[in-house]
Structure 1
Amino acid sequence: MVQAYVLVQTEVGRAGDLAELIRGIDGVREADDVTGPYDVIVRAQADDIDALGRLVVARIQRLDGIARTLTCPIVQI
C-alpha cells in the first residue's frame, strides 16, 4: 500500500467545491481546502506507486478547475 499527500492548486474561488469533489474519489482518504500556496491538500492511497499515479493523473488532475498538483509519497521507515 502506498500513501501520499497531493498538494493541489485550483482556479480562484474553486477550492471548497473541488475539495468536496475530490473527497468522493475512490482512494482519497481526506481532502481539505487550506490557505497558503496550495488550495487543497489530499491524502490518498493506492496499491502501488503506479496506481497512485493513475489516481492523481486520471482522476484528480482531470477535474475542471485544477491548475496544478504536486504528489508527495509518504515514506514508511
Structure 2
Amino acid sequence: MVQAYILIQTEVGRAAAVAREIAALPGVTTAEDVTGPYDVIVRAEAADVDELGHLVASRVQRVEGITRTLTCPVVHIV
C-alpha cells in the first residue's frame, strides 16, 4: 500500500468545493481545505505507485478549479 499527501492550489474561492469533490474520489481518505500556501490537502492511498499516479493524473487533477498539485508520498524511515 502506498500513501501520499497531495497538496493542492486552487482558483480563488474554490477550495471548499474542490475539497468536497475530491473527498468523494475512490482512494482518497481525507480532503481538507486549509490556509497557507496550499488551499486543499488530501490524504490518498493506492495499491502501488502506478495506481497513485493514475489517481492524481486522471482523477484529482481533472477536478475543476485546481491550478497546481504537489504529491508527497509517505515514507517510513526506520
Q: Which category describes the TM-score, using the shorter chain as reference length?
A: over 0.9
TM-score by length of 1: 0.98
Once residues 36 and 60 of structure 1 are traced to their aligned partners in structure 2, the CA distance between those partners, rounded to angstroms, is 20
**How many residues are treated as equivalent by the alignment?**
77
For residues 24-66 of structure 1, the C-alpha deviation after alignment (integer angstroms, 9 at most, x for no partner) is 0000000000000000000000000010000001000011111
Give 1:76 deviation, angstroms: 1.9
1:5 — aligned with what?
A: 5
Percent identity between the two aligned chains: 65
Q: Does the alignment pair 1:27 with 2:18? A: no
Q: How big is the alpha-carbon RMSD for the aligned residues of Structure 1 and Structure 2?
A: 0.5
Q: Distance in 2 between matches of 1:4 and 1:19?
A: 16
CA distance in 2, matches of 1:64, 1:20: 12
Q: Which runs of structure 1 show a deviation greater than 2 angstroms over 4 or more consecutive aligned residues?
A: none
Consecutive unaligned residues of structure 1, counting only runs of 5 or more, are none
Q: Hey, what's the Cα distance between the residues in 1 that align with 2:76 and 2:51?
A: 18
